């Protein structure tokens, strides 16, 4: 019977033994694949049960708050995860299978993690405060000084070689053809988008900015010796051949960044407006913008950001890292003078308009913002741990199988 499989009751939900076993097996398999030795099964089971209890509590809180992740947001996150790991969607799906997960299982797992992340931002972020004095003290410390290290923006081309294929750069025909095209002046990004087998191919091979301490092991001995615009010699791994290009370099005292000037309209859910009502209103505003109504007038009438609303939605110049990730991603993708589609962040629903872009030396400001972000992340983790303990203590938790109960045997 189903009741025989119940490990623990958590408020209005349950955790099943099958779930515990599946996750334990998945983690043990991953540890062994990485060359490690899994902890004793009983120890791992108790740890997993506590994780599942915490998940159940947060997911129920998210449902009661009306939070949801639609398929479009989920698909975008999956694509981002694959790209950041240098994989195509197909390669990402293969990696999931190695971890014992199907794509549908992974989608639901990531959807749950996104929901909990949104709930945590809403409930924990207001608890985090960072003062200017804390930032200045951090900048004077050894950790703060490390922020001035050199950073590299890289682009990458991967030519996959099947097992038993030709990994010799001198004789691999596809690599030699690419090298010839580069010598003749072909654009690296164009060649990457056409020929690279990496998950970053659609972005022209762009790997983004990396600190010298964060360079992939394959690139670490090579990149520091490259000049801006230079492409490395072919690099060989068992699975393929690689070329890496140093697109930009920054470090030391100068931090030149691209700033963006935007206007925005924010519609937030709250006590008087549900999530669905907020989405409905932002889409109505979007239709009115398309019909030719004034952005400034609509911002003054509807935006829930009181400071920018009084200025017709106008925001200050924004540098990388100053806005939430969802806002920055849309801001970077929106052409100059254009208005974005409605999108969602933890603050609610947004529409933005890009007014201008510029290159600006933000050395001191950059260091200050980076330091503040570093402190905020640490304080957020501390506050998150405390919040998790609070909601765990407040929840109704009843163990139906004492093998999985904490050592003191206490329920709540």
Residue pair 304/383 in contact by the 8 Å Cβ criterion = no
- What Å distances lie between residue 226 and 74, 150, 232, 348, CA to CA? 38, 13, 7, 44
Only one residue has tokens 């990994």, namely 167
What is d(CA 352, CA 266) in angstroms, rounded to the nearest whole number? 9
Residue 388 falls in which region: left (phi positive, over 0), alpha (psi -120 to 50) or beta: alpha
Residue pair 230/218 in contact by the 8 Å Cβ criterion = no
- Give the three-state DSSP class for 336: coil
DSSP 6-47: EEEEETTEEEEHHHHHHHHHHHHHHHHHTT--PPPHHHHHHH
Burial of 121 (0-12, 13-18, 19+ CB in 10 A): middle
Tokens of 299: 């911002």
Across the strands, what pairs with 106?
A: none
What is d(CA 135, CA 140) in angstroms, rounded to the nearest whole number? 9
- The closest alpha carbon to 175, from 162, 157, 188, belongs to 157
Query: How far out from the chain centre does Cα 296 lie?
Result: 31
Supply the pLDDT for residue 254: 57
What is d(CA 103, CA 339) in angstroms, rounded to the nearest whole number? 34
Supply the pLDDT for residue 2: 46
What is d(CA 148, CA 152) in angstroms, rounded to the nearest whole number? 12
Residue 250 falls in which region: left (phi positive, over 0), alpha (psi -120 to 50) or beta: beta
Prediction pTM value: 0.52
Supply the pLDDT for residue 220: 87
Tally Cβ neighbours within 10 Å of residue 27: 17
What is d(CA 80, CA 328) in angstroms, rounded to the nearest whole number? 14
- Give the three-state DSSP class for 277: helix
Supply the pLDDT for residue 17: 92
Mean pLDDT for each consecutive 10-residue tract of the chain (412 residues)? Answer: 74 92 87 82 90 95 92 87 80 80 86 93 93 89 69 90 82 89 89 87 87 82 89 87 89 71 94 90 96 95 93 91 89 94 93 92 73 89 94 94 74 59
**Domains along the sequence of the chain with CATH:** 150-250 (3.10.50.40), 256-360 (3.10.50.40)
Residue pair 370/147 in contact by the 8 Å Cβ criterion = yes
Measured N-to-C along each axis, helices 17-33 and 41-64 cross at an angle, to the nearest 10 degrees, of 120
């Amino acid at each position: 019977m189903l009741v025989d499989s119940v490990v623990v009751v958590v408020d209005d939900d349950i955790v099943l033994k099958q779930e515990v076993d599946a996750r334990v097996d998945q983690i043990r398999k991953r540890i062994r694949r990485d060359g490690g030795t899994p902890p004793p099964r009983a120890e791992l089971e108790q740890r997993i049960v506590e994780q599942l209890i915490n998940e159940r509590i947060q997911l129920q809180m998210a449902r009661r708050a009306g939070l949801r992740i639609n398929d479009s947001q989920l698909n975008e996150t999956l694509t981002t995860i694959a790209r950041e790991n240098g994989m195509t969607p197909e390669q990402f799906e293969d990696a999931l299978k190695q971890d014992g997960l199907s794509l549908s299982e992974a989608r639901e797992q990531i959807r749950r993690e996104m929901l909990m992340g949104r709930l945590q931002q809403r409930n924990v972020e207001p608890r985090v405060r960072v003062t200017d004095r804390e930032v200045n003290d951090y900048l004077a410390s050894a950790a703060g000084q490390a922020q001035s290290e050199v950073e590299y923006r890289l682009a990458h081309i991967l030519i996959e070689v099947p097992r038993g294929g030709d990994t010799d750069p001198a004789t691999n025909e596809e690599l030699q053809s690419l090298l010839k095209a580069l010598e003749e002046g072909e654009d690296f990004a164009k060649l990457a988008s056409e020929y690279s087998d990496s998950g970053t191919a659609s972005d022209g091979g762009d790997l983004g900015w990396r600190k010298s301490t964060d360079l992939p092991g394959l690139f670490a001995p090579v990149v520091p010796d490259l000049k801006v615009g230079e492409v490395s010699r072919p690099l060989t791994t068992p699975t393929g051949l690689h070329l890496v290009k140093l697109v930009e370099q920054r470090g030391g005292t100068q931090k030149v960044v691209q700033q963006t000037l935007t206007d925005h309209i924010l519609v937030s859910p709250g006590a008087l407006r549900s999530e669905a009502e907020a989405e409905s209103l932002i889409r109505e505003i979007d239709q009115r913008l398309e019909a030719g109504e004034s952005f400034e007038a609509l911002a003054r009438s509807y935006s829930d950001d009181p400071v920018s609303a009084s200025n017709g939605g106008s925001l200050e110049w924004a540098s990388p890292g100053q806005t939430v990730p969802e806002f920055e991603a849309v801001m970077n993708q929106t052409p100059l003078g254009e208005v974005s589609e409605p999108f969602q962040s933890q603050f609610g629903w947004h529409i933005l308009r890009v007014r201008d872009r510029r290159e600006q030396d933000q050395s001191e400001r950059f260091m200050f913002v980076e330091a503040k972000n570093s402190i905020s992340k640490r304080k957020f983790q501390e506050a998150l741990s405390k919040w998790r303990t609070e909601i765990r203590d407040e929840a109704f938790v009843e163990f139906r199988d004492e093998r999985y109960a904490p050592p003191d045997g206490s329920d709540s």
